Amino acid sequence: MRKKIVIALVVLLLGFVILVLMQPASFRVERSAVIAATPEKVFAQIEDFHKWEAWSPWAKIDPQAKVTFSGAASGKGSIFTWSGNNDLGEGRQEIIECEAPKHIRIHLEFTRPFKAVNQTDFTFVPEGAGTKVTWTMTGQNNFMGKAVSLFMDCDKMVGPDFEKGLSQLRTVCEAP
């Protein structure tokens, strides 16, 4: 009887491992919004980390968070680090590409509550009298990331934050 239980557990564990290994090796979260402002105006809010507090969906999660700015004042080479409560966590982001007013690429590293390295992109495309802003985050899923994705959908977790951020960015950019 014990042998059958052990075999059943091994089969279940092996099945779980195979299921995890079959999950996608990468993820992508993307949201867009049209903002009634020029690409230059919207771009300026994102290329300067000092301005993120006005629109970032995470800026007010922990008012006591420690933030630092280093590197360039804005654009390529500017760095923003944060360390906050368990909801905010800890990490670092650096603008690694910046083509005004079309595209910004950010290298994003989380160190707490989990370690991850992702890429974030913002694109700005004129649309009518405004700008279509697209915010994208991509990354690789290691074994643990694949296992977590069985129970938690990254798009459903992060997507609403992107939507909130874009809405707040719209408010900032459309203000007189």
Bridge partners (DSSP) listed for residue 131: 35, 126
C-alpha–C-alpha distance, residues 165 and 56, integer Å: 5
For the entire predicted model, the pTM comes to: 0.87
> Per-residue pLDDT tens for 44-80?
999 999 999 999 999 888 989 999 999 999 999 999 9
C-alpha–C-alpha distance, residues 114 and 103, integer Å: 28
Residues of the chain with pLDDT > 70: what percent? 98
Q: Does 167 score more than 70 pLDDT?
A: yes
Residue of 107, 166, 160, 113 lying closest to 135 (CA atoms):
166
Q: What is the reported pLDDT for 20? A: 65
Confirm if 121 and 47 have CB atoms less than 8 A apart: no
Residue of 126, 168, 154, 137 lying closest to 31 (CA atoms):
137
> Per-residue pLDDT tens for 124-166?
999 999 999 999 999 988 777 777 777 778 788 899 999 999 9
C-alpha–C-alpha distance, residues 67 and 80, integer Å: 7
In single-letter form, the type of residue at position 88 comes to: L
Q: What is the reported pLDDT for 153? A: 80
